[in-house]
Structure 1
Amino acid sequence: MSMISKSLGQIRQAFLGIVARAGIKAQIQGLADEVMDQMEIYQQVGFSSWIPEKSRVVILPLMGKSARSIIIASTEAPIMITVNEGETCIYDQFGHQILLHKNGVKIKGDVEIIEGGLIVEKDIKSKANISDQKGSMQAMRDAYNPHTHGNSPPPSTPME
């Protein structure tokens, strides 16, 4: 039994570290001021994020060896979002968010569609101006409402 215990004692278990230098491969400050360079970060396919410096990470030594360690999770970044029961939030360190909650989806930050269009099956409402390449809807109202044709009166029903 003591040989098994001794052998298991030589296998390093998962541990916590702090990101000292961020990047595609990170430098980690481990236990007792241990520095681990060029740590690979494993993330789910389809999700990719930059782990900020000073974030805590979970490190898994493959085959129990520190030299073959990978980062499998992170937390405590400078910006953290707290969600309520049932919610999910994708966010970055610039303050942008996509919050999935019981009433729908809320996006914080500008949205740019680089490729493809936007198809909407219900009304579109805006609390601000709407514009296209030629001008704003407010500019159309401003031009339409006072317009006349010769001596005719302006439109009886102005655009609002």
Structure 2
Amino acid sequence: MIGAIQKQVNKGLGQIRQAFMGLVSRGGSSSIQLKGFEGEVLEDVEVIQQVGFSSWLPVNVKVVLIPQQGKTSRAVVVATRGGDIVIHVDEGETCIYDQFGHSVWLKADGTHVEGDLFVNGQIRATDDISSATEIRDKKSTMQSMRDAYNSHRHGNSAGPDKSM
């Protein structure tokens, strides 16, 4: 009797899909197409991401799927791994990166940004600001201001007593 019950339970469990992995075959940020490792193709699979974070899943990225209510047709992507660019972090570090090579990397010595930075709003610093190259505004560079100031004369007068 117990053997028959166990057989029925196992039969029922066999009809419930467990978490599985797949490969993205059509990328997206909210819905993707993917191939399961058993050769199956899943269309319009929902991608679940953390609030405040959104990323485009590129082709050939590995994904972990959870079939809601055990049904493959209701699977959602909950994690990803891979891509053309992968950054490996050390203990305590966090990195947000894309497949273009841009990154914001939180390290022990500070925040490292790789790539151009576009800011819509004010920048306020509580310490010095330095640059390895030019500082530029909408008119010119600080170096061009120095060049104009240092050579500035009024008639026959001497130039500035202190160069910039």
1:48 matched residue in structure 2: 54
State the TM-score, normalizing by the size of structure 2.
0.93
Instruction: For 2:148, give the aligned amino acid.
Output: A
Q: Secondary structure at the match of 1:117?
A: coil
Q: Distance in 2 between matches of 1:25 and 1:44?
A: 15
Instruction: For 1:150, give the aligned amino acid.
Output: G
Q: Distance in 1 between matches of 2:76 and 2:49?
A: 10
Q: Secondary structure at the match of 1:32?
A: coil
Cα shift at 1:52: 0.5
State the TM-score, normalizing by the size of structure 1.
0.95
1:99 matched residue in structure 2: 105
1:80 matched residue in structure 2: 86
For structure 1, which runs of at least 5 residues remain unmatched after alignment? none
Identity across the alignment (%): 47
1:4 matched residue in structure 2: 9
Give the counterpart of 1:57 among 42, 63, 67. Answer: 63
1:117 matched residue in structure 2: 122
Cα shift at 1:156: 2.7
Equivalences, count: 158
Give the counterpart of 2:74 among 64, 68, 75. Answer: 68
Q: Distance in 2 between matches of 1:79 and 1:32?
A: 26
2:150 matched residue in structure 1: 145
2:21 matched residue in structure 1: 16
Cα shift at 1:2: 1.9
- RMSD of aligned Cα (Å): 1.0
Q: Distance in 1 between matches of 2:37 and 2:11?
A: 21
For structure 2, which runs of at least 5 residues remain unmatched after alignment? 1-5
